[in-house]
A and B are shown apart, each in its own frame.
Chain A
Amino acid sequence: MASSKRVKPIRKPIASREATEFEPNWDLIRDALVGIHTKNQTELSFELLYRASYKIVLKKKGALLYDRVKEFEERWFRDHIMPRISHLITPNLVRVALFQAPGTSTHERRHTAEQFLRGVRDAYVDHNLSMNMIADVLMYLDRAYTSETKQPSVFTATIGLFRDHVLRGCISNGTEPSDKTIFDVINAVVLDMINLERDGDVIDRHLVRRITAMLEDLYETDDEMDDQKLYLRVFEPAYLDASTAYYRIECEKLLRESDASTWLRHTRRRLAEEQERCETTVSLLTSGNIARVVEAELIKARLNEFLGMEGSGLKAMIDNDRIEDLSILYDLVARVDEKMEPLKAALQSRVMELGIEIEKTLGAMDFSARAGADGEEVQGGAEKPKAQPLTASAQQTATAIRWVDDVLALKDKFDTLWRCCFREDLVLQSVITKSFSSFINVFSRSSEFVSLFIDDNLKRGAKSKTDGEIDLVLDKAITLLRYLADRDMFERYYQKHLARRLLHNKSDMDIEKDMVSRMKSEMGNHFTSKFEGMFKDMEASKDLGEGYKEHAQQVRDTDTHKVEFGIHLLTTNHWPPEVMGRSAALLDEGAKGECIYPPGIKRLQESFLGYYLRNRSGRVITWVSTAGNADIRCIFPKVSGKETGPLSKERRYELNVSTYGMIVLMLFNDLAEGKSLSFGEIQEKTNIPASDLTRTLASISLAPKSKVLAKEPASKSIKPTDRFSYNAQFVSKTTKIKAPTIASLSRVEGDEERKETELKNDQTRSHVVDAAIVRIMKQRKQMTHTELISEVITQVSSRFKADIPLIKKRIEDLLNREFLERVDNAQVPTYNYLA
C-alpha cells in the first residue's frame, strides 16, 4: 500500500496549491481544536479537518503536526483544566481524605467527597470526549505516521495528559507542601466512601464507578499495556489493603461480640456484597481479588476460633443439626481450602468424640439400667421374672443393641449432614467414614456387637417386620460391617450367632440368605463360604430328615416311627467350634464321652445312622447333644383328692426342652411316684457335664412356667446336693410350654469367654498370616523384611488389620521351621524362600 501513496493521481487536484502547505492547514486544525474544547465543533466539517491533516501527513509533516497537537493540548490543559481541578481540592477535603480529620460527620465527609469526585469525573469526561474527537479528526495521522514511527497514538498521548497533570499533580495548599498527589486524594476519598457503604451508608455508586472506570481507561505509561492500567497498578492495591484492614477489624469484632452462626451469615453476606460492589461500584476486574481478601480475613484468619466457639461452633452445629449453618460453613470453607483441612479435622474429632461418648454412656448405662427395667430389653418376657443370673448378660445384649443403634443414628446424622450441607463432598465423606471406622475399631467389642445387632433383628425379623424394614436393617448392618477392620472376628461371632439361629429355627431362611449374599458382595466369597456351608447343611438336613421319615415308615419299626425325628446334619468345618467342638473336646477327655441317651433315643440314633450310611460310607456322625431340643408330650394325671380347679383334671402339655432336658425328663418317666433323684444320680445316669446339667435343671425346675420338676430344698439355685422329683402339681395355662433354654440366648460374652474367643481368633490369624507369608515368598523367592510386611498387611487386610508384632513373630516362626532363611550380608534384612 505504501506504493499507492507515491503514485500521483492522474487528475488535477481540486484543492488549491496553497492548501497543501503546512501552516494554513495547521491553522485550520488549531482553530478546530479550540472549537472542540469549547464544544463549538458542531459547525465544523469533519471532512475538511480530516483532509487538512491528511494533506499534512502526505507532505511528510506528520511529526510536526503531532508535536504541535501535543504542545497545544498541554497548554490548553494547563490553562483551562487544571484551574478547575485545583479549585476542587479544598483544604477541608485534603484534611478529611488524607489525615482522617476527626470531628467530621459522615454526612459531611460524604458530601465533600462526592463533590470532589464529581468534579474530577466531569473534567475527565470532557477531556475524554474532546480527545476522542481530536483523535478521530487526526485519524490519518495515527494511521500513517504515529503507528509507523511507533509513537503513542494521538489519543493515548493526549489522554495521558490527564494522568500526568491531574492525577500525578502534587497538592500543595494550605500550610505545608505535601508529597501527596491528587491521585492519593481520589483513592482515599473513594475508599472512604466504600467503607461508608460497608457500614451501611448510601453512597453514589454510579459516581464511584465512573471514577474507577476512568482509572481503568488510563495507563501507567503511554505504552498502554493491559497490566499497566492505573486501576490495577494503583487503585486496586490500595483498595485491597483498605479492605483487608476493614475486614480484619470486623472479624475481630465478630469474634468478640457474636457467635459463629452470626459470623457465617455475616461473612456470606459480605461476600455477596463485595461481588455486587464490584459489579456496580468498583470494577469486575477486582471481584476475584476482593473475594480473596474477604475469604482470608473473615474466613481463614480465625476459622478455628469460630469453629471452636462454645455453644455455636462446629460442635453445636453438629449436635443441634444446624443444617443451614453447616451448609454456609461448608461453602465458605470450600472457598478458602479445597482440601477442607480445618473442617476435616474438626469433623473428624467430633465424630470420634461422639463415638466415644456412645461408648461411655453405654458404660454408665450398664449400672443404671440394672435397676430400672429397660423398655428395649431384648429378652422376651418369659425370662424376666426368673432372670436374676441372666440380667447381667441380658443387659449387655441390650447394651450391644443400644450401641449399634446409637452408632447407626450417628451415622444417619452425619449422612444427612453430608447430603444436606456438604454437597456430598467426597473428601468429607472419606473423612467421616474414616472417623467412624476408627472409633468403631477402637471399641474392642464392635465386631461382637454388630453381629449381635444382626442376630437380634433377624431373630425378631420374621415376626414383626415388613420387608422394607428388614431391608433397612440389613443395609444398616452392612454399613457397619464396612467399618469393621477385624472382619475375622466378626465372622467368628456371626458364625456363632447364625448357628444358634439356624439350629433353633429362629429366623427366616430367605432373610438370612439375603443378608449373607449382601455380605458376599461386600466382603467377597471367602468371607461367607462358611455361612453358605451352614445353609447348605440345613437344606441337606431337611432332605435327609424327610428321606429318613419315609424310610422309617417303610421299615415300620415301632420304636422309631413313634417319635418324630428332625435332624441337623452339620459339617464340622462350617459350624462354629462352640457348637461342634464341645462334644469333641469331651471325647478327648476320654473318660466321660457322650452323654447317655435313653434307650428309645439310642435306637433312633442307630436307625438313622444305618439309613445315613446306606448311601455314604466312611462317615462319622457325632451327636451334639448340647445343640438340640425336643418336644415332649407329657401327661399329668389327675391329682387325687382335688375335685375342682385345674388339678382335678388330667393335663396334657407339650413341653419344649433342650436335648439334655429331654434326657433328664425321660429319667423321671421310669421313676416310681414319690421317689426323687439327686443331682449326682442324675449326672451319673445321664453323663451330662455338670455345668450343662445345672442349667438344664434350672430350666425345668426353677422357671415358674415350666416347673415340671420339684426341687428339694426349694431354693433359687441348683446345688449338687439338691434332689429332684416329679412335680405332680404342675399347672400351666398354655398347652405348649417352652422351657427357657439358656444356651440359646444370644448375648454378650463374658470377659473370659471373650478372651477365649480372641485367643482362638489370634490362632486363626497366625495361620492366615503364615499362609500369606508363604504364598508371597513362594512367588517372590526373595524379599526384604519391610516389603514382606507391607505385602502381608495388604493381603490380609480384607480379613483383619494385622499388627506388625504378629507378623514378625510368624516370620520368626517360619525361619525356625525352615520355610525361610535370612540372607547373609544383605544391607537390609532380607529373606529367601526355601522350597
Chain B
Amino acid sequence: MTTNGDEAPASKYVTLISADGFEFVVLREATLISPTIKGMLRSPFAESKTGRCEFPEINADVLDKVVEYFLYWHKNVDKPNVPDMDIPPEICLQLLQAADFLGLDKQSS
C-alpha cells in the first residue's frame, strides 16, 4: 500500500547518508530500484517523512558506487546494448554485501 500521501510529492530527490556521514542527494525515482529503499520510502516510517535514508553499515565509497548504479540503471533501463559499469575490484565484496542489503540481488525493475 502506498500511503503517506502528504510526503510523496514532497521532493523529487531523496538523501542517502553513508556510515561515515556523506550525503548523496539522488533522484527519488532512481533509488526505487532497490526494494529496500522503496519499502523505506513508501511505508510511513521516519525515512518517508524526512526523505533522508541513513545507512550506518555502508561506507561512502560503496554508497557512491551504489548511487552511481542507481543513476546508471535509471538512465539506461530501457536501452539495449548498454556498456557495463566500471567496478573497482577493491570494493567489490562490500558492494556485493550492500547490494544484498538493498535487495538488488534479484532482477527487479
**Residues in A lying within 8 Å of B, measured CB to CB:** 1, 4-5, 7, 9-11, 13-15, 41-47, 49-51, 54, 128-129, 132-133, 136-137, 139-140, 143
Query: Nearest-CB distance from A528 to chain B (Å)?
Result: 69
Q: Select which of A42, A129, A139 is within 8 A of B39 by beta carbon.
A: A139
Picked from B54, B56, B97, B99, the residue with its CB within 8 Å of the CB of A15 is B56
Given A4-B99, A9-B93, A51-B101, 20 extra CB contacts under 8 A: A4-B96, A4-B100, A9-B97, A10-B93, A14-B19, A14-B56, A41-B44, A41-B45, A42-B46, A43-B46, A47-B53, A47-B55, A47-B56, A54-B101, A129-B1, A136-B42, A136-B43, A139-B103, A140-B101, A143-B106
Is the pair B39, A7 in contact by a Cβ cutoff of 8 Å? no
Chain B residues contacting A129 (CB-CB under 8 Å) are 1, 3
Contacts of B53 in A (CB 8 A): 47
Chain A nearest CB, measured from B54 CB (Å): 6
Q: Which chain A residues border B3 with CB–CB below 8 Å?
A: 129
Q: Are B43 and A14 in contact (CB under 8 A)?
A: no
- When A and B form their complex, which 10 residue pairs have the shortest distance between CB atoms, in order from nearest? A136-B39, A46-B45, A46-B40, A4-B96, A136-B43, A132-B1, A1-B105, A133-B43, A46-B47, A45-B46
Q: Are B39 and A50 interface neighbours, CB within 8 A?
A: yes
Interface residues of B in 36-91 (CB under 8 A from A): 36, 39-40, 42-49, 53-57, 59
Q: Is B15's CB within 8 Å of the partner chain A?
A: no
How many A-B contacts at CB < 8 Å in the complex?
85
Q: Is the CB of B105 within 8 A of A47?
A: no
CB contacts (< 8 Å) of B39 on chain A: these are 46, 50, 136-137, 139
Q: Which chain B positions have C-beta within 8 A of A47? A: 40, 47, 53-56
Contacts of A11 in B (CB 8 A): 59, 94
Q: A13-B57, A50-B39, A54-B101 are in contact. Are A128 and B1 (CB under 8 A)?
A: yes
Q: Which of A10, A43, A51, A139 contacts B35 (CB 8 A)?
A: A139
* Chain B proximity of A834: nearest CB distance (Å): 80
Smallest CB separation, A26 vs chain B (Å) = 18
Q: What chain B residues lie within 8 Å of A49 (beta carbons)? A: 45
Partner of B100, one of A5, A15, A136, A137: A5
Query: B55 to A7, Cβ gap below 8 A?
Result: no
Docked CA distance A708–B57 (Å): 134
Chain A residues in 8 Å Cβ range of B35: 139, 143
Report yes or no: B43 in contact with A4, Cβ–Cβ below 8 A: no
Residue of A nearest to B35 (CB): A139
Give the distance to chain B from A370, nearest Cβ to Cβ, in Å. Answer: 90
Q: Is there an interface contact between B96 and A7, defined as CB atoms closer than 8 Å?
A: yes
Size of interface on B: residues with Cβ below 8 Å to A: 31
Q: Which of A7, A14, A43, A137 contacts B57 (CB 8 A)?
A: A14
Set A4, A14, A43: member contacting B105, Cβ < 8 A: A4
Cα of A117 to Cα of B28 in the assembled complex, Å: 39
Report whether A42 and B105 are in contact in the complex, using a CB–CB cutoff of 8 Å. no
CB distance from B10 to the nearest CB of A (A): 14
Q: Is the CB of A4 within 8 A of B42?
A: no
25 sample A-B contacts, Cβ–Cβ < 8 Å, listed by A number: A1-B100, A1-B106, A4-B96, A4-B99, A9-B93, A10-B93, A10-B94, A11-B59, A14-B19, A14-B57, A15-B57, A42-B49, A45-B46, A47-B47, A47-B54, A50-B39, A51-B56, A51-B57, A129-B1, A133-B44, A133-B45, A139-B35, A139-B39, A140-B103, A143-B106
Chain B residues whose CB sits within 8 angstroms of the CB of A128 once the complex forms: 1
- Tell me the minimal C-beta distance from B95 to chain A in angstroms: 10
Report A45 CB to chain B, min CB distance, Å: 5
How far, in Å, is B37 (CB) from chain A's closest CB?
Answer: 9
> B1-29 toward A: CB 8 Å interface, digit per residue (1/0)?
10100000000000000010000000000
Contact between B46 and A46, CB atoms less than 8 A apart: yes
The interface residues of chain B lying within 8 Å CB-to-CB of A136 are: 39-40, 42-43
CB distance from B15 to the nearest CB of A (A): 13
Residues of A within 8 A of B42 (CB): 136
Q: Residue B54 contacts which of A4, A45, A132 (CB distance < 8 angstroms)?
A: A45
**Alpha-carbon gap, A129 to B5, bound state (A):** 14
Chain B: CB-nearest residue to A49? B45
Contact of A42 among B40, B45, B94, B96 (CB under 8 A): B45
Question: Which residues of B are found within 8 Å of A46, using beta-carbon distances?
Answer: 39-40, 43, 45-48
Q: Which of B40, B94, B103 has the most CB of A within 10 A?
A: B40
Most buried by B among A4, A46, A51, A139: A46
Chain B residue at smallest Cβ distance from A15? B57
CB closest chain-A residue, reference B99: A4
For the complex, what is the distance from the CA of A15 to the CA of B19, rounded to whole Å? 10
Chain A contacts for B97, CB-based, 8 A: 4, 7, 9
